[in-house]
Structure 1
Amino acid sequence: MINIAFLQLLPAGNLKENMEKGIEYCKKAKKMGADIALFPEMWSCGYYIPHDMEALNELAVPADGEFVTRYKELAKELDMAIGITFLERYEPRPRNTICLYDRHGKSVYKYSKVHICNFGEADDESVLCAGDEFPVAELNTAKGNLRVGSMICYDREFPESARILMLKRAELVLVPNACPMEINRLSQLRGRAYENMFAIATCNYPSPHPDCNGHSTLFDGVVYLPEQLGSRDTCILETDESEGVFLAELDINMLRQFQKREQQNLKNRRPELYRILAEK
């Protein structure tokens, strides 16, 4: 079993306080038995995105700066993987990024949100740069290795995001989030786990953070078991709206056995008919 901690936290108000609060709750997660700790989207600034470029650049932090490096060190100190999220200083404009560190403090990947929220509104992500790849890499935990990738919030609304991660053999997808998790978005996550036969762990901000309502989730993606008639509920965890650390167990061995049994989902694909997806 891999224990995943969802740090469903309210931001503290500034970069230093967010860093300190995040460290405190990572330590709590470790005491609870976590192997992986995941933050909500852009924890460094509490998903605050000024549209004044000077203010935006001032708020952004470098991937090799003190904020991120402290969590790299903390992962090693705690012997626990950490997915830390931040507004990344980047040229020509900042990015919405997660860095995943393993239990030795080794960088596993850096992923920047590919599908930025560009809705023509004053508080959207149109001032940010988009990422350009979906990395999947081997994550070392105290319970063994597993293949991990990420989507960030709006990425989940594009089935191509999850399918690329599936084709790269992801077993667990970490999803930092900052939006209301209602029935349709929760159904998207359930569907992505079902379609792609992997687990999806989503960490959201709690209420009363603006436009957020908690409901962090773990869907394990295991739809059928040989000894069980019919399908099973893949939802392992759905939190309430409150602030706190929530722990969920992912049965990685059960997931791997399921992936082996369901290989026809890959075999029966017809990629020669999918060209329109890349042309339109």
Structure 2
Amino acid sequence: MANTFIRVALAQVMNDVNLEEVCAVAAAKGAAVVVFPEMFSNGYSRFDSECAVSRKAWIDGAAPLDGPYLDRFREAARDNGLAIVATLLEQGEVKPFNAAVLIDDTGEIVLHQRKRHICFFDVPEEACAPGESSSVAKLKTKVGEVAIGIMICMDREFPNVASDLVREGADIILVPNSCPLVDDPSVGDVRVAGMRALAFQSAAGIAVANYPAPKNDGHSFAVDALGKIIVMGGVQQEVIIVDFDLDEIRVVQKQEWFRRL
């Protein structure tokens, strides 16, 4: 009997693209879910930390969960019959949040995740509030239910986020990202190495969607539950496809059960 695969598309694109076209391309390639980079609502834009007006304008641009920004993704999900990880600067009562939502193929939000480990030491995230918890959604797909978790960029560098997702039973962790992955001037490709180690430690597949050059360095990638790189993109704007072998992931999870305690 053939193994069961779920196809994930990594939208390595800038936020001025036609998102409906990107989703249509992902669907045409057979993807069950497409992942956009971090804080896509403003392209992870920065503001002048010395200018109160600029900072306020950036915060005022935050989007609600029930507004037109996410409505476009929800409609694209319905139109194309695929799930979408959409990211945004989310409105908050005191401070905004760096957030992501998983929208299923009916257009419903089935998972809402706020970045827990914000870059409080730099613009723009010094203006944001951190999230408090992580959870997993059982996403219904054509190949059955898949337990999906989300971590946002720097969340992947802290063990508590992955531990929470593992305890919740995540099969696949999707990571919207905005930073150099391979060509960081200080740490090189250590973030890729970190994701390989994290997948091995968690017995889960992981996929990272990054912005292309010149904003970041592209190289969106995915690793299997043993930490092996399945696919990695280039630096250019593109939609990258990865097939996760769900049967293999679950075999690894059974064999490496002690990693998921």
Amino acid at match of 2:246: I
Q: Does 1:2 align with 2:6?
A: yes
Q: Give the match's secondary structure for 2:127.
A: coil
Contact 2:91 2:97 in 1 (8 A): yes
Structure 1: unaligned runs, 5 residues or longer: 13-17, 224-232, 268-280
Taking the aligned partners of 2:164 and 2:258, their CA distance within structure 1 comes to 17
Taking the aligned partners of 1:74 and 1:144, their CA distance within structure 2 comes to 21
- Of the candidates 243, 263, 276, which is equivalent to residue 237 of structure 2? 243
1:109 aligned residue: 111
2:186 aligned residue: none
Contact 1:7 1:39 in 2 (8 A): yes
**CA RMSD of the aligned region, Å?**
1.4
Q: Give the match's secondary structure for 2:147.
A: strand
What displacement does 1:265 show? Answer: 2.8
TM-score by length of 2: 0.90
2:161 aligned residue: 161
Q: Does 1:260 align with 2:257?
A: no
- Of the candidates 11, 30, 33, which is equivalent to residue 30 of structure 2? 33
What are the superposed Cα offsets for residues 71-119 of structure 1, whole Å, 9 maximum, x if unpaired? 1122122110100011111111111111101112222111010000012
2:191 aligned residue: 185
- Of the candidates 187, 203, 208, which is equivalent to residue 197 of structure 1? 203
Contact 1:44 1:87 in 2 (8 A): yes
What displacement does 1:266 show? Answer: 4.1
**Aligned residue pairs, count:** 246
1:215 aligned residue: 219
2:46 aligned residue: 49
Taking the aligned partners of 2:141 and 2:41, their CA distance within structure 1 comes to 24
Contact 1:115 1:130 in 2 (8 A): yes
2:61 aligned residue: 59
Shift >4 Å, 4+ stretches: none
Amino acid at match of 2:138: E
Contact 1:29 1:37 in 2 (8 A): yes
What are the superposed Cα offsets for residues 29-59 of structure 1, whole Å, 9 maximum, x if unpaired? 1111111100000111100133444202321
Q: Does 1:77 align with 2:91?
A: no
Contact 1:217 1:235 in 2 (8 A): yes
What are the superposed Cα offsets for residues 132-160 of structure 1, whole Å, 9 maximum, x if unpaired? 11011101122221001111001111112
Q: Give the match's secondary structure for 1:60.
A: coil
- Structure with the larger RCO, 1 or 2 (CA within 8 Å, 6+ apart): 2
Taking the aligned partners of 2:202 and 2:75, their CA distance within structure 1 comes to 33
Q: Give the match's secondary structure for 1:29.
A: helix
What displacement does 1:260 show? Answer: 1.1
Once the two structures are aligned, what percentage of the paired residues are identical?
35
Amino acid at match of 1:189: M
Larger radius of gyration: 1
